[in-house]
């Protein structure tokens, strides 16, 4: 439930406490350039001074004014009234002005028209002193003024509520205001005022009974509903109400005549003025459509958990941290409120509502309480199962709602940076039934948050159903699966980094999440992706788009040791490496170069650590990893640089071919056909390079690129954005002399 913000900035209080009279106020104006009311332009200062003088005069006039002065006949009254009005509407009135003007307006000394004009001009420059409000309420109680003036005063009080500097004494008058409910005309405004004033201790059984009597007399009235529902919020054990879903505002706009003036003053006075928020009750949740009562895809509204029952009250006398102390979640609107009340905040009665409330999610992050997660676990698990559009028949019409729900769950997981186990179970249960189409982006995003802890289940529950869909679905589906598996890997690795840092408080380390368990699970995922990537490249004819997503995955894999501190490196399978190496596309080749460079950096770092034995390493990379890397690097350098791939490649699935066989292809210069000049992915660059270097030559003689020109060509390639190629060549190719590229050797680790 959103209530109007009651802000009292301490600055204002201090500022005005010692201003006892008008002249002091004026002095203060001059001496303090920060004072908000003051206009800063110096040419106006004199004008302002004269204005202040006339306001001072006007106020002293109204202070001394005698009974029944007629406006028409009295020029002095006319003049002073106009002064007050013009100053008030332009800049607002000083705090000291309110006491005088409220007294005269409510005393009934002057005609109603004057009273109305006075009240309408009561716009504060900064704050309104509480004392002036209290004394005017006492005048209201003796009812010297007319009914319309009374109403106008109440509306003024509601509008200006947030400008009143203190409210303690005003709270003490709660009973007086409550008695005004009797008056039928005043009732709506009094309800609004009470709504602003009500605290938990104001809710008393006799007041509830009085309000229910009024309700019986007047029927359903929105202002009574609002007040009663606030009472219900504070004391659900005493009264209850179900608000109709349609209503939005419960009080008529009462700030009417002052709105423009307040806005004008606020514009001059921006930092300090409280923000007027529209009053909206949040307890009535909109029902989206006619659905079953136990349908829960609608995330419940936050509502305080108050099983505040009679039996508990005895205990409460002993309990210091009793329910009275708690801060209702409905009133939690800002982060600073959260910080101030974090010790006395309760979770809402239905945990599901935290999903849409970032403040409560922050709070959830701070509180390590099993029951919070259990409540969320049950609610989410049941909702996901019940609403799943492909598991439950007849749900298909609600696909949009379910999508939104999955989206919300995913966002929450991102916010908390952890996956929900209920979500994981849901995926395991529903993926075998999934058509790969319904809510695809949402489902695949949820996959990326499957928690690491339960690796034994991942294969049969995730990989098996996913692989069936993967092989039978479109290229784009394949790419999205790879994308979400990359994110899954990154989430696991991030989790590992965070938790290995906080190893000291090792409660998070359950049995399943030992380092060897983690390494096994991650290795399993990488091997799985390697396998499906190999098959997918076959199926899709080495599609560039697909290759991009696969290499993107390996960009994370090749850096696991250095970036995520995980003692594991796995090379891509030959079915990925060779299609990338021989790709028709320079993007893929460049990406592969970058990946191989990072592999090298990681492997070198690992070897150094191993040799220096700084740490006793629990895990060593197997020699097989180094061997695989070396095989690939030989093939790569052979292809791109030394034009010896067909001879030197030692990988069993590699490019090694006999010269006789190659000669049968009738390709001339077959040896160099994959170097950085002739490689199909690079030939375009070579062509452009030739065009720029020898514009007159139209024979496209690629063999011109050698010696010095080879180096120019390299510089040209780097300038074209092939950064991956650059770091690869600079790190992996040992160029004996800059001039003779033919002597370059590949660097093995």
Partner 1 sequence: MESADGAARTLPSIRRLSRGPPFGRAQGWLGLSHGGQLLSPPTPHSQENADPQRTAFLLRKQWALYSVTPLYKFCNAHLRDYARLLSAFIAAEKQKGLAVEVGVELDIKVAVTSIPDLKGSDRDQAAILVQLSLRSPASPKNSEEKLVWSGCFCCVFGDHLSENVPEDFTCLPLFLVNGAESYTSLVGSWFQKTFDCCFRRLAISPLNLSWMAAMWTGCKVDKTTSAVELVFSVPCLPYPLDISYAIHPEDAKALWDTVQKTPGEITQEEVDVFMDCLYSHFHRHFKIHLSATKLVKVSTAVASAHCDGMIKFLQSKYLTGLLMLLTELAISQIQ
Binding site for partner 1 (CB under 8 A): 208-209, 211-212, 215, 220, 224-225, 228-229, 231-232, 236-244, 292-294, 296, 300, 303, 305, 307, 309-311, 349-351, 370-371, 374-375, 378-379, 381-383, 385-386
Cβ atoms 546, 477 nearer than 8 A? no
* Smallest separation (angstroms) from partner 1 to the CB of 430: 15
What one-character DSSP code corresponds to residue 671?
Answer: G
* Smallest separation (angstroms) from partner 1 to the CB of 373: 10
* Smallest separation (angstroms) from partner 1 to the CB of 294: 4
The smaller minimum CB distance to partner 1, of residues 103 and 429, is found at 429
Cβ atoms 402, 439 nearer than 8 A? yes
Phi-psi region of 108 (alpha: psi -120 to 50; beta: other; left: phi over 0): left
* Smallest separation (angstroms) from partner 1 to the CB of 318: 17
How far apart are the C-alpha atoms of 239 and 205, rounded to whole Å? 9
The smaller minimum CB distance to partner 1, of residues 76 and 374, is found at 374
The smaller minimum CB distance to partner 1, of residues 310 and 660, is found at 310
- The C-alpha R_g of the chain, in whole angstroms, comes to 38
* Smallest separation (angstroms) from partner 1 to the CB of 155: 25
The smaller minimum CB distance to partner 1, of residues 381 and 436, is found at 381
The smaller minimum CB distance to partner 1, of residues 290 and 613, is found at 290
The smaller minimum CB distance to partner 1, of residues 51 and 306, is found at 306
The smaller minimum CB distance to partner 1, of residues 386 and 483, is found at 386
Q: Nearest Cα to 242, choosing from 229, 258, 223? A: 229
The smaller minimum CB distance to partner 1, of residues 68 and 315, is found at 315
Burial of 601 (0-12, 13-18, 19+ CB in 10 A): middle
* Smallest separation (angstroms) from partner 1 to the CB of 217: 12
Output the CA–CA distances (angstroms, integers) from residue 443 to 282, 421, 481, in the order listed: 31, 15, 10
Q: How would DSSP label each residue in 430-489?
A: HGGG--S-TTHHHHHHHHTT--STTHHHHIIIIIHHHHHHHHHS-HHHHHHHHHHHHHHH
Q: With H, G, I as helix, E, B as strand and everything else as coil, classify residue 537.
A: helix
Torsions phi, psi for 559 (to 5 deg): -115, 15
Long-range CB pairs of 224-232, under 8 A, 24+ apart, other chains included: 224/187, 224/191, 225/250, 226/191, 226/192, 226/195, 226/250, 226/251, 226/279, 226/281, 227/191, 227/194, 227/195, 227/198, 229/1, 229/281, 229/283, 230/1, 230/195, 230/198, 231/198, 231/203, 231/207
* Smallest separation (angstroms) from partner 1 to the CB of 296: 6
The smaller minimum CB distance to partner 1, of residues 321 and 378, is found at 378
* Smallest separation (angstroms) from partner 1 to the CB of 237: 6
Q: What SS3 string covers 594-630?
A: HHHHHHHHHHHHHHHHHHHCCCCCCCCCCHHHHHHHH
* Smallest separation (angstroms) from partner 1 to the CB of 314: 12
Long-range CB pairs of 432-435, under 8 A, 24+ apart, other chains included: 432/465, 433/390, 433/391, 434/390, 434/465, 434/469, 435/390
Cβ atoms 416, 361 nearer than 8 A? yes
Cβ atoms 282, 330 nearer than 8 A? yes
* Smallest separation (angstroms) from partner 1 to the CB of 192: 17
* Smallest separation (angstroms) from partner 1 to the CB of 230: 11
* Smallest separation (angstroms) from partner 1 to the CB of 236: 7
What one-character DSSP code corresponds to residue 164?
Answer: B
Cβ atoms 37, 268 nearer than 8 A? yes
Phi-psi region of 485 (alpha: psi -120 to 50; beta: other; left: phi over 0): alpha
Cβ atoms 733, 641 nearer than 8 A? yes
The smaller minimum CB distance to partner 1, of residues 307 and 506, is found at 307
* Smallest separation (angstroms) from partner 1 to the CB of 530: 35
What one-character DSSP code corresponds to residue 733?
Answer: E
For residue 304, list its beta bridge partners.
348
The smaller minimum CB distance to partner 1, of residues 79 and 306, is found at 306
* Smallest separation (angstroms) from partner 1 to the CB of 244: 5
Calculated CA dihedral for residues 293, 297, 300, 305, nearest 10 degrees: 80
The smaller minimum CB distance to partner 1, of residues 141 and 280, is found at 280
- Report the sign of the C-alpha dihedral through residues 54, 55, 58, 59, in that order: negative
The smaller minimum CB distance to partner 1, of residues 284 and 568, is found at 284
Cβ atoms 630, 748 nearer than 8 A? yes
The smaller minimum CB distance to partner 1, of residues 131 and 221, is found at 221
* Smallest separation (angstroms) from partner 1 to the CB of 328: 15
| Sequence-ordered alpha helix ranges (H) in 40-129 | 45-64, 75-91, 95-107, 112-120
The smaller minimum CB distance to partner 1, of residues 158 and 351, is found at 351
């Amino acid at each position: 439930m959103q209530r109007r913000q009651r802000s009292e900035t301490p600055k204002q209080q201090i500022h005005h406490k010692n201003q006892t009279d008008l002249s002091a106020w004026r002095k203060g104006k001059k001496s303090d350039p920060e004072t908000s009311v003051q206009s800063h332009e110096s040419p106006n200062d004199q004008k302002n001074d004269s204005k202040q003088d006339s306001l001072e005069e006007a106020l002293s006039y109204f202070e001394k004014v005698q009974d029944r002065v007629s406006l028409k006949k009295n020029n002095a009254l006319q003049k002073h009234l106009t002064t007050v009005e013009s100053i008030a509407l332009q800049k607002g009135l000083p705090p000291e002005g309110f006491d005088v003007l409220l007294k005269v307006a409510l005393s009934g000394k002057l005609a109603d028209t004057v009273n109305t004009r006075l009240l309408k001009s009561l716009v504060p420059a900064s704050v309104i002193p509480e004392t002036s409000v209290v004394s005017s309420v006492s005048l209201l109680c003796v009812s010297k003024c007319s009914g319309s003036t009374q109403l106008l005063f109440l509306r003024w009080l509601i509008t200006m509520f947030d400008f009143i500097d203190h409210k303690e004494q005003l709270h003490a008058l709660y009973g007086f205001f409550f008695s005004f409910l009797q008056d039928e005309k005043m009732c709506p405004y009094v309800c609004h005022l009470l709504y602003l004033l009500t605290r938990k201790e104001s809710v008393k059984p006799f007041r509830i009974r009085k309000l229910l009597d009024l309700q019986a007399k007047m029927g359903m009235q929105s202002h009574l509903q609002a007040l009663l529902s606030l009472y219900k919020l504070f004391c659900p054990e005493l009264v209850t109400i179900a608000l109709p879903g349609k209503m939005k505002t419960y009080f008529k706009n009462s700030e009417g005549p002052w709105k423009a003036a307040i806005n004008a003053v606020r514009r001059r006075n921006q930092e300090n003025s409280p923000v007027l928020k529209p009053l909206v009750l949040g307890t009535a949740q909109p029902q989206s459509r006619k659905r079953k009562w136990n349908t829960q895809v609608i995330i419940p509204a936050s509502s305080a958990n108050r099983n505040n029952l009679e039996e508990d009250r005895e205990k409460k006398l002993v309990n210091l941290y009793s329910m009275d102390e708690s801060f209702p979640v409905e009133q939690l609107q800002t982060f600073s409120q959260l910080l101030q009340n974090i010790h006395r905040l309760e979770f809402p009665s239905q945990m599901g509502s935290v999903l849409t409330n970032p403040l409560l999610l922050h709070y959830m992050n701070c509180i390590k309480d099993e029951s919070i997660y259990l409540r969320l676990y049950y609610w989410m698990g049941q909702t996901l199962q019940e609403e799943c559009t492909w598991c439950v028949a007849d749900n298909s019409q609600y696909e949009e709602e379910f999508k939104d729900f999955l989206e919300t769950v995913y966002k929450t997981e991102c916010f908390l940076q952890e996956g929900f186990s209920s979500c994981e179970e849901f995926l395991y249960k529903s993926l075998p039934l999934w058509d790969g189409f319904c809510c695809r982006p949402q489902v695949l995003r949820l996959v990326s948050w499957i928690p690491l802890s339960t690796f034994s289940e991942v294969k049969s529950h995730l990989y098996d159903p996913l692989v069936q869909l993967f092989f039978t679905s479109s290229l784009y589906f394949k790419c999205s699966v790879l994308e979400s598996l990359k994110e899954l890997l990154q989430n696991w690795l991030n989790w590992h980094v965070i938790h290995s840092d906080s190893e000291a408080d090792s409660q998070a380390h359950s049995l399943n999440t030992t380092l060897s368990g983690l390494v096994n699970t991650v290795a399993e995922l990488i091997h799985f992706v390697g396998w499906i990537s190999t098959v997918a490249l076959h199926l899709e004819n080495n599609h560039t788009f697909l290759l991009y997503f696969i290499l993107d995955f390996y960009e994370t894999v090749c850096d696991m040791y250095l970036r995520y501190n995980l003692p594991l490196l796995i090379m891509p399978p030959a079915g990925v490496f060779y299609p990338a190496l021989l790709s028709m596309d320079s993007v893929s080749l460049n990406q592969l170069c970058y990946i191989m460079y990072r592999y090298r950096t990681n492997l070198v770092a690992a070897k150094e650590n191993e040799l220096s034995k700084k740490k006793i390493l629990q895990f060593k990379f197997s020699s097989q990893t180094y061997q695989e890397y070396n095989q690939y690097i030989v093939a790569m350098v052979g292809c791109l640089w030394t034009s010896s791939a067909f001879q030197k490649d030692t990988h069993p699935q590699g490019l090694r071919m006999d010269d006789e066989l190659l000669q049968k292809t009738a390709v001339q210069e077959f040896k160099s056909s994959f170097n950085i000049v002739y490689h199909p992915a690079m030939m375009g660059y070579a062509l452009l390079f030739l065009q720029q270097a020898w514009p007159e030559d139209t024979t496209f003689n690629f063999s011109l690129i050698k010696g010095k020109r080879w180096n120019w060509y390299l510089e040209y390639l780097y300038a074209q954005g092939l950064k991956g190629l650059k770091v690869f060549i600079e790190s992996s190719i040992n160029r004996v002399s800059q001039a003779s590229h033919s002597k370059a050797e590949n660097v093995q680790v």
